[in-house]
Amino acid sequence: MEVSALQKARYSYTPKLPDILKRPPDNIMPQFGAATGSIADQADLQTIFRHNYGKPVVTFTNGKNDAMRRRLCVGVVLSGGQAPGGHNVIAGLYDGMKKGCRDSKLYGFLGGPSGLLENKTLEFTGGLIDQYRNTGGFDIIGSGRTKIESPEQFACALENAKKRGLDAIVIIGGDDSNTNAALLSEYFTENGSSIQIIGCPKTIDGDLKNEHIEVSFGFDTAVKTYSELIGNIERDAASAKKYWHFIKLMGRSASHIALECALQAQPNVCLISEEVEEKKMSLDDIVTEICSSIIKRASGGENFGVVLIPEGLIEFVPEMKKLIKELNDLMAVYGDELSAITNFIDQQYWLERHLSGESLGLFTSLPPEIARQLLADRDPHGNVQVSKIDTEKLLIGMAEKKLAELRQVGAYALKFSALAHFFGYEGRCAFPSNFDADYCYSLGFTAFVLIASGLTGYISSVKNLVAPADKWIPGGIPLTMMMNMERRHGLSKPVIKKALVELDGNPFKTFAASRKQWAEKTCFHFPGAIQYYGPPEVCDQPTKTLKLEHTE
């Protein structure tokens, strides 16, 4: 594979570490806080996690710790969608283990969780790790979305871990993957195994966070990548002065990406799914808001603009949420029967007998291509795959219809020509920003310290992220601390609660204070490309969201 000049330069970048992790490993001691509880459903979760529930938060301090020098054999799994910085988590884990004991071994399970079930691994070497330092992607071992959840799968995972002689497994993933990590840890302990499980917070969506997990890795790079692209489109729109660009962005369950990109690029309209749900906005309400901006800008002769749309928006529109829930429930019970009907007209006849009147009316009012997408194959959780629904095209079509009645407004001609975009995969494997390169390396090194300290059922945590990296605070958070019980496939199950945009939080309030002006005037910002070399105020800054969340 040919290597670019930037890639060669990134190989030699030395990630920054918190001061405590720069010490000789045997001078790093775990420091335990008070016992913890889950965010909700304490009694149920205490019953499910009788070995791991209530563990204390862990930080590190200076002190003699000979355990840090013991030989370790560890396996690592990349789980779920890619996020920039995953390679550096592995590099930080590898370097920490080798710093503790040069005879330690790190294995990577190939292809995600399925690699653990199929016992497919490779052993990392220094040469292999060096080829992937500070680079994007998960291609060093690959990722996957296999869920380890049945008793047979748990037993298989334990058996394969024993065969490899592992002391621990590190699972790098999002909320679902880390929920599985907690269940795996509990199963191992329940069955008398000392093999430890440590999680690591990954997802570009930004919905795995709380007071201890300030941000999931990959979010910083992804939003900076998308913001550059949005800025480029804004510049083009302001130059051509004839197109409205509707841009759908990653973020199924939460609108953190859309909100951060709005704070960076200042588009004319940015929809926030959580606000749509809070205000019980209909599709017509949403289109009316967009058209209001189009009309006001047209009155000033500016027949161009940019609209940002979260990927999961339609699931937050009450009428659409109800329809999708009914469809998901029907697919769970009658999926094979419906799939056997290949003609769309016949599918509609079938739905007439099964959908409620309100949902059927909405379904039949949708453009046929959107309606068909709602009937497509479900994701592994049984839900509609919203990333495959062209929400941006749906809103363009509805706006065109509404504006057709307003072709002449006052003394000016209303012109509307729209283009649709979806930014998703463009941000998942970008070269990690310096922030993500440093953060991920610290997360991996922290995972090593947690393992060497004999801990299990924890997620690697690095706090105080708005400060310079040497002031960051590494540690471990009990996975059960972030959990509640939710209904999944008709059953109540333990899950790590997703963090949604808080409408009373500083990031949203800052956005809300400016959006009226953005809707009417051209206030575009052009963030430009991620900078890797230069002064820290240019290269090492965290996101605006992270800064605002730490502003009183």
Here the tokens at position 501 are 């945009």
Backbone angles phi, psi at 503, to 5 degrees: -70, -15
Q: For the chain, what percentages of helix, strand and coil (3-state, to nearest 5) are there?
A: 45, 15, 35
Distance CA 425, CA 220 (A): 15
Place of tokens 């502003």: 551
Distance CA 368, CA 373 (A): 9
CA quadruple 455, 460, 466, 469: dihedral, nearest 10? 80
User: Would residue 218 be called left, alpha or beta, if left means φ above 0 and alpha means ψ between -120 and 50 degrees?
Assistant: left
CA quadruple 290, 292, 297, 300: dihedral, nearest 10? 170
Mention every residue, 6+ apart, whose C-beta is less than 8 A from residue 208.
174, 175, 178, 201, 202, 216, 496, 498, 499
Half-sphere exposure in the Cβ direction for 242 (13 Å, CA) = 1
Active site residue 205: yes
Residue type, 532: Y
Distance CA 220, CA 116 (A): 29
Catalytically annotated residue among 95, 205, 207, 540: 205
Whether 248 and 422 have beta carbons less than 8 Å apart is answered as yes
**Positions marked active-site:** 205
